Amino acid sequence: MKNTPKIIIWEGCSPSVSKAIQRFEERWQPYSVSSRRYPIIRLIKDVMDQPIDEYIQTLPESYSGYLPGAGTGVKLSEIIRMVGLDGMVRMQRQLLRQFIKTADRQSRTDQCFIATLESLIGLVWDCSLKRPKRTTSTKGVNLNDQRKHGFCELCGSLTEFADFMVTVANQRINDVELEDHNKLALSHQYCSKHRPKLLNGEWNLAYRKAKRSSAQFHIELDRLNQQCANRSRILTMSGDKLIGSFFYQLMQRLTLQPADKAELRHLARRMVDAKLSDTKKKMLVLRKSGLSQTEIGQRVQNGKAQPMTRQAVSKALASIPKEFIL
Ligand SMILES: [Zn+2]
């Protein structure tokens, strides 16, 4: 299972900015928003400001209007200091949308510009979710592990705790206050739907069910994330061209972006809950390419490693929710 958030670099992102993001990720482990010793804005300043600046220098002047501060020489870290990480994400999203609507001509420079901004938005967003590595913890509650990001481990909803924080408090709180919130027994790992025990103390069936498929959830999430950041080609990480092709075609149809982390997590959860196995994914691709159900049955195998009958193929295809049909 992947716990440390991975900053996704968009295909076509400026090479120097890509390298900076990789350097950033190598060093960011101890950094967070709330840490005094390791404030994450300082790391942005040390690692990102300069390469971004250099990248902007390579662009025609008209582009600088779409990067906050670029026209006036104000660095990324300084803007973030002024508007906050969340504010920066919102602002940059808006400017990027405007660029795509009005200025984008899909030239190489444009494509690189968009990919670079998307990658930077992702980085800033990940920073806002980043929690300190070392914190004081008590009574077996391991805050280090549980506060790595705001998402439920099993879906795209915020954890009960993160949800609480968003609604009630702002995110700049210290560890002592966090300890106090623990008394409310909000889950740091799961959303209210997936909390292990119900408020009456009984085990939650939704939790047990989702927990059993946790490994598959992370596999699908990883595939979705990677395909989302590399839309233009079929990825082969699954080891099977047809499965890769399924994710490629699915992503072509969706308008999701790597920064849409919640939606991607929800999608992975629905995929697993709908029992969309790799075999079914292959069937969908084969059907899309024009094969009959009988032909599909000859190309895929059932649980006993035998070809499938036309009836079995028909039944399997009929069980697939609409949103996954290619
Ligand atoms: Zn959940």
Confidence (pLDDT) at 82: 79
Distance 269 CA to ligand 1 centre (A): 9
pLDDT value of residue 147 = 45
Alpha carbon of 91 to ligand 1 centroid (Å): 28
List, in order, residues 6 or more apart from 29 with CB less than 8 Å away. Answer: 4, 133
Where does the pLDDT of residue 146 fall: very low under 50, low under 70, confident under 90, or very high at 90 and above? Answer: very low
Report the range of poorest mean pLDDT among 95-109, 206-220, 269-283.
95-109
pLDDT digits (tens, 9 = 90+) for 174-210: 444 555 554 456 677 889 899 888 877 789 999 999 9
CA separation for the pair 271, 280 (Å, rounded): 11
pLDDT at 142: 37
- The single-letter DSSP state of residue 212 is H
Distance 167 CA to ligand 1 centre (A): 17
**Residue 177 Cα, ligand 1 centroid: separation in angstroms?**
24
> What pTM, to 2 d.p., does this model score?
0.55
Predicted confidence (pLDDT) per residue in 63-72, tens digit: 888 887 776 7
| Cα 10 to middle of ligand 1, angstroms | 27
Say if residues 272 and 154 touch (Cβ distance below 8 Å). no
Q: What is the pLDDT of residue 267?
A: 97
Q: Which pLDDT band holds residue 148 (cuts at 50, 70, 90)? A: very low
Which residue reads 């609507």 in tokens?
A: 101
As residues whose CB is below 5 A from the ion ligand 1, the structure lists 152, 154-155, 157, 191, 194
Domain positions in the chain are: 15-129, 136-212, 216-324
Query: Average pLDDT of the chain?
Result: 84
Which residues contact residue 145 at a Cβ distance below 8 angstroms, ignoring those fewer than 6 apart? 3
pLDDT 10s digits, 32-64: 887 888 889 999 999 999 999 999 999 988 888
What is the 155 CA–ligand 1 centroid distance (Å)? 4
List beta partners, residue 301.
Answer: 307
- Give burial (CB, 10 Å; 0-12/13-18/19+) of 138: exposed
Q: How far is the CA of 170 from the centre of ligand 1 (A)?
A: 22
Predicted confidence (pLDDT) at residue 211 exceeds the cutoff of 60: yes
Q: How many CB atoms lie within 10 A of CB 56?
A: 20
**Mean pLDDT of all residues in 238-260:** 90
Whether the pLDDT of residue 133 is over 50: the answer is yes
pLDDT tens per residue, range 75-87? 899 888 877 888 8
Higher pLDDT, 41 or 94: 41
**What spacing in Å lies between the alpha carbon of 138 and ligand 1's midpoint?**
25
- Whether residue 278 is predicted with pLDDT greater than 70 in this model: the reply is yes
Residues 156 and 266 sit within 8 Å (Cβ to Cβ): yes
Choose from 14-23, 142-151, 300-309 the range with maximum mean pLDDT: 14-23
Q: How far is the CA of 163 from the centre of ligand 1 (A)?
A: 11
CB 20 within 8 A of CB 47: yes
Q: What is the pLDDT of residue 311?
A: 95
d(CA 53, CA 192) in angstroms, rounded, equals 43
- pLDDT of 138 higher than 50: no
Please state which of the ranges 4-18, 124-138, 272-286 shows the lowest mean pLDDT.
Answer: 124-138
